[in-house]
């Protein structure tokens, strides 16, 4: 009954979603692209595909090693990647070029999901993290398509939410062929809300299987050399409500370290212009990445481009990871950790609580609660390179110690494909 009510509600909301898509597309034309795909009217696949779904940028980046490994092991096998957001789709195209097929994932009405699955003909659906869409999963189950939830995480807050609708959550989870959980706590929560224990494994997080290649290192060194010999900190994946706090923290830092440069990277491209205006209104000298502005004389370097965060981490001495000073839940701290940077975060990290706990256990992260404590932490790390190196080395060590999830997940996917 709850599934039926959910489907009817989504059908009622669908026209408003399409209107919202059209309205937002006035400023961001990419939002209007692929609207037919969102209704399931996707191009028909000539061959069955391995379908990898990653909702947005972070999940797409996490899926990249998996997709590359699938392509290497099965060069003749078509791979379809889907995303919910334009930024996720753009990032996938930048990562994979013409080696895979692309589409926006369908809205979760029964008709849209059925049309999409019927047309793309998946051999398997691999969902990154915790994107649980009842009608999409039901459409796959109807056709005997195994669904795997990979790099799966489930916070206590989310688990409690699913526990309020057990008649919807339990059948949904029991339809999933394999849940590859990031940690024991995640696995236990999935079982608690209805997953079959024999279909849940703890594989670790593929986000630990991240590499900084030579090309990225060289590009970061070239960019950093253009800025002169000055302390640099990066605030990455920031949200509305954080930027002003970060700028005030930077003002405090510059009162002690006048040459300090802040590299500010908003999470969403539609905010680039507003964040630039905020920076100017605070009296800071601004350089824009999109214009290749020289940052040597700037106070703030605004990264108003897409797909360069990993590169920009390599230019910094200290990294603050956003979404954590507000109750957003935080973003992935493993990219700066892989660079060997000391990681600073706000208190709200429930989206990555297991990873942050591992960094904390490894003495590789500093938690702050306000702009004042943020400024104090960053200033100390910039002023004391030995301490920053120690935390950065600890962060890299945590990444190295937890590699291997990718191999376990690829083996698991191939086992499910062989069982068909």
- Residues that are catalytic: 59
Burial of 218 (0-12, 13-18, 19+ CB in 10 A): exposed
Is residue 101 within 8 Å of residue 82, measured between CB atoms?
Answer: no
Distance (Å, whole) CA 416 – CA 414: 5
Sheet holding 232-238, edge to edge: 286-288, 300-302, 261-266, 232-238, 318-321, 343-345, 365-367
Distance (Å, whole) CA 309 – CA 316: 11
Is residue 84 within 8 Å of residue 56, measured between CB atoms?
Answer: yes
Neighbours of 269 (CB within 10 A): 16
């Amino acid at each position: 009954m709850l599934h039926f009510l959910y489907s009817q509600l989504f059908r009622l909301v669908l026209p408003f979603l399409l209107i919202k898509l059209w309205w937002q597309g006035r400023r961001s034309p990419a939002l209007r692209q692929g609207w037919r795909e969102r209704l399931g009217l996707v191009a028909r696949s000539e061959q069955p595909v391995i379908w990898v779904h990653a909702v947005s940028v972070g999940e797409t980046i996490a899926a990249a090693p998996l997709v590359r490994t699938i392509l290497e092991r099965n060069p003749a096998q078509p791979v379809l990647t889907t995303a919910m957001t334009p930024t996720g789709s753009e990032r996938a195209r930048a990562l994979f070029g013409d080696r895979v097929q692309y589409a926006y994932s369908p809205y979760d009405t029964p008709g849209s999901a059925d049309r999409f699955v019927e047309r793309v003909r998946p051999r398997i659906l691999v969902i990154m993290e915790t994107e649980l869409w009842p009608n999409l999963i039901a459409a796959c189950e109807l056709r005997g398509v195994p669904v795997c939830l990979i790099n799966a995480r489930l916070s206590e807050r989310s688990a409690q939410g699913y526990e309020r609708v057990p008649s919807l959550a339990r059948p949904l989870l029991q339809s999933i062929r394999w849940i590859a959980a990031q940690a024991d706590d995640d696995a236990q929560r999935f079982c608690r809300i209805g997953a079959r224990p024999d279909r849940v494994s703890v594989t670790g997080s593929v986000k630990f299987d991240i590499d900084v290649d030579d090309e990225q290192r060289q590009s970061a060194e070239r960019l950093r050399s253009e800025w002169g010999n000055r302390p640099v900190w990066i605030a990455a994946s920031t949200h509305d409500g954080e930027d002003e706090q970060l700028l005030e923290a930077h003002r405090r830092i510059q009162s002690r370290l006048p040459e300090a440069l802040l590299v500010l990277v908003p999470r969403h491209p539609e905010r680039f212009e507003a964040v630039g205006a905020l920076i100017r209104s605070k009296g800071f000298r601004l350089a824009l990445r999109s214009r290749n502005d020289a940052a040597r004389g700037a106070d703030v370097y605004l990264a108003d481009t897409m797909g360069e965060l990993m590169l920009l981490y390599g230019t910094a001495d200290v990294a603050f990871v956003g979404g954590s000073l507000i109750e957003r839940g935080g973003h992935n701290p493993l990219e700066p950790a892989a660079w060997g940077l000391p990681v600073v975060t706000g208190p709200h990290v429930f989206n990555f609580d297991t990873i942050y706990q591992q960094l904390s256990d490894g003495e590789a992260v500093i938690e702050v609660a306000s702009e004042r404590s943020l400024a104090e932490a960053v200033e100390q790390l910039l002023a004391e390179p030995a301490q920053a190196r120690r935390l950065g080395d600890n962060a890299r060590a945590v990444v190295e110690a937890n590699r291997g999830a990718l191999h376990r997940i690829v083996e698991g996917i191939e086992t499910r494909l062989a069982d068909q």
